[in-house]
Amino acid sequence: MLWKIGIVGFGNVGQGLAHILNRKKEILKRRYDFEYIMTFIADPVRGSLYNENGLDLDSVLKEMALKGSLKNRPEFTDKGTLELIEMAKADIVAEATITNFETGEPGLSHMRKALSIGSHVVTSNKGPIALALEELESIAKENRVCLRYEGVVLSGTPCINMVLECMSGCDIKSVAGIVNGTTNFILSKMEEGYDYPEALVEAQKLGYAETDPSSDVEGWDSAIKAAIMANVFFGAKIKVTGVARQGITKITKEDIVEANKEGKRIKLIAEVRKEGNGVYASVSPVAVPKSHVLGSVMGPINAVTFATDHLGEVTIIGPGAGRIETGQALLSDILAIHRCYVCK
């Protein structure tokens, strides 16, 4: 089967997926019998492209690297994103626009449109999954297509699919982990002797933190991931505002030193657990024993521990951000959809 793929949002993540697909085209064909053409790229800022016979990804990526724009290419189209999604009718749409925690837009509308016309959707966009997962899954079911979102919690490091597929049948009692690499980097630098403002500047200098770091340091990014895990793994209906949240902005060097004396490290921990007949989700700085696997994770690395009935504690550790890493999450979801159809 030749898959027609479209990418919505051609920033770091969208380009990361395109690089992987382009570089590994022959490997994917040989290893998985997976063949594709990229029929459209939708990005109002960088330029949208459409070719029903397939874009030359190598040429597109070179031009993007050289000029930062695709607007002078012969395949350029001024059609809006929703119109382009409907016109192209790709088999799989990879939605990789920037997350909006409050509305989920524009990604939410992109996903609604793609699913409603019968396109499978893979995404790394946290907002729509946190805010409207039940609705999106209903649209997908109605149109007999797949919605997959591996990359919304730990980027390319397996998390969602590991629990839903590799650990299916297990009862997940609780989830606790470091799901934001920026804050873990800052806390690691503070352990080296930096104070909070110095560590933040260093994180910004290295590209781990944005100019406005509030989403990371105030715990919002971790909270949206906690809400997603609560809803996906525990069947809850928790909104981001329903996650008890405390960031790291009030952590001092003295706090770090005191924890160190006790053989502990302060980590920003996202936790989800069953509580009575409900589910509780929180994000807060926690002094974790250095002997615990979460206490040993340093720098911009993520880690999540799942407490289960059949397997005890299972911990996954890996990068939680990056263009190639997140592109890999999208690719893994694309290949999962491909396998479903090959096995039919």
Catalytic positions are 225
Q: Which residue in 119, 324, 298 sits closest to 192, CA to CA?
A: 298
Phi, psi of 96, deg, nearest 5: -135, 40
Q: Do residues 290 and 263 lie in contact, with contact meaning Cβ atoms separated by under 8 Å? A: yes
Distance CA 104, CA 255 (A): 36
Distance CA 95, CA 93 (A): 6
Q: Quote the DSSP letter at residue 240.
A: G
Distance CA 267, CA 209 (A): 17
- What is the b/e burial string over 163-185, where b = at least 16 CB atoms within 10 angstroms of the residue's CB? beeebeeeebebbbbbbbbbbbb
Q: HSE (CB half, 13 Å, CA atoms) of 133?
A: 24
Distance CA 75, CA 186 (A): 44
Structure tokens that stand for 90 in this block: 């790709």
Q: Do residues 124 and 320 lie in contact, with contact meaning Cβ atoms separated by under 8 Å? A: no
Structure tokens that stand for 285 in this block: 């700085």
Distances (CA, A) of 283 to 175, 176, 247, 280: 12, 9, 7, 11
Which residues are 287's β-sheet partners? 266
- What is the b/e burial string over 257-279, where b = at least 16 CB atoms within 10 angstroms of the residue's CB? eebeeeebbbbbbbbbbeeeeeb
Q: Which residue in 197, 184, 333, 328 sits closest to 270, CA to CA?
A: 184
